[in-house]
Amino acid sequence: MSETKSDKYARVAYYPGCALEGTGHPYNRSTKAVGKALGLDLVEVDNWNCCGAMEVKNIDPKVQTYLSSRVMSIAANQMRMDVVMAPCNGCYHNLKKAEHDLAHDPASAEVVARLSAKAGHAAYQPGQVESIHALDWLKGAIGEDGLRARVKGGLKGLRIANYYGCMYTRPRNIFPEKDAGPGSESTSKPHFMDDLLAAAGAVNVDFPLKTACCGGAHTLSDSDLSTKLVLNILNAAEAAGAEIIATECPTCHSGLEMHQIRAEKRFQRKTQVKIVYFTQLLGLALGLSARQVGLHENVSESRELLAAKGLG
């Protein structure tokens, strides 16, 4: 009998990545807390390294492929794991890109083989592990029905705009499991976060900028442009009637938080919508406290709003 996703994702190698040890710590905390509450086993990848992020990738994409492949190699060859779960869109994207490169580009495979030998570990072979996002993990391991059965109180009709960012679905060709028919994720209109939060009792608003650029790449070169792009996302979320923007990427999350403040200072444009990780919202729906999901670590202060609804 073939293994179901529910079984396969019950125990996964956890790759938090650099951001979740810094600005994205509440995402790390809430992901672990939700996993524990749901009885799912996260085994952190031993001695993991940077995925290559954007900095390495824009200088030498093959070095990024190697860096990401090392994480997957450790999970597969040293930890004997089948699945690597990365909550960060950047890490997730880079693992998928490395998988794609190694399967389709002999030059990348050659670089990975050479650098792996030099570093003294087995070179990762495409297909050894399945790389997934935290959304895939919870959707596959628990699903909407499982979540509905476990929520305690739920999200009480909290109106949420789900923001997926740009890297979760792009480019389409490195995500062969997406756009694969009923039940799969969509690259043009992603819905996994919507599905999970609706099952937890939220009301998802119609938010047309869910995969739009947040200007992250311009943050240092043109901060005003980043601020304007974020302000537009915040304005659109409020126009859609959202009380909260749910995020699933530490870079997007930090960008929205920081530029919300900067928009007020630089352009005198104040927005009220709160920014909260989707794992924090799921944790609250499961009966965890505000502190257990790390709301106190967010820059965007959402505790009063959520407490008024009896959450946290």
Partner 1 sequence: MIPLDEVESRLATLTAAAPAPDDAAEILALGEAVLEHWVRARGETPTTDRQEGFRLLALHRQGARGMPSFNACRESCRELIYHYNLLKSEPEHPDAGRRARMMALLANHLCLFVGGKLQTERLGEFCCASKPVRAQSG
Which member of 158, 193, 200, 236 binds partner 1 (CB under 8 A)?
236
7 contacts 146 by C-beta, under 8 angstroms: no
Which of 7, 78, 104, 176 touches partner 1 by CB under 8 A? Answer: 104
Q: Which is nearer to partner 1, 2 or 221 (CB)?
A: 221
Check residue 154 for interaction with partner 1 (CB under 8 A): no
Cα-Cα-Cα-Cα dihedral sign, residues 93, 98, 101, 103:
negative
Structure tokens at 88: 């960060």
Cβ distance 135 to 199 under 8 Å?
Answer: no
Candidates 26-34, 43-51, 53-61, 77-85; binding stretch for partner 1 (CB under 8 A)? 53-61
Phi/psi of residue 249, nearest 5 degrees? -150, 130
Which of 76, 115, 167, 197 is the binder for partner 1 (CB under 8 A)?
Answer: 167
Angle between helices 223-239 and 250-267 (to 10 degrees): 100
CB closer to partner 1 out of 189 and 265: 189
**Residue 213 found at the interface with partner 1 (CB under 8 A):** yes
- Cα separations (Å) of 82 from 10, 64, 151, 241, 246? 11, 22, 28, 41, 29
113 lines the binding site for partner 1 (CB under 8 A): no
CB of 11 to partner 1, least distance (A): 30
- Report the interhelical angle of 192-199 vs 278-285 (nearest 10°): 20
Report if residue 58 touches partner 1, rule: CB under 8 A: yes
Q: For residue 123, which of 77, 83, 91, 81 has the smallest C-alpha distance?
A: 77
How far does Cα 181 stand from its chain's mean position? 22
Query: Is there a contact between 260 and 270 (Cβ–Cβ < 8 Å)?
Result: no
Question: Which of residues 95 and 200 has its CB atom nearest to partner 1 in the complex?
Answer: 95
- Residue 212 binds partner 1 (CB under 8 A): yes
Q: From the list 218, 262, 266, 303, which residue makes contact with partner 1 (rule: CB under 8 A)?
A: 218
Least CB distance to partner 1 at residue 92 (A): 12
Encoded tokens for 287: 């009966």
Distance in Å, CB of 289 to partner 1, minimum: 35
- Element spanning 263, H or E: helix 250-267
Binding site for partner 1 (CB under 8 A): 54, 57-58, 61, 90, 93, 97, 100-101, 104-105, 166-167, 170-171, 173-174, 188-189, 208-209, 211-213, 215, 217-218, 221-222, 225, 228-229, 232-233, 235-236, 239-240
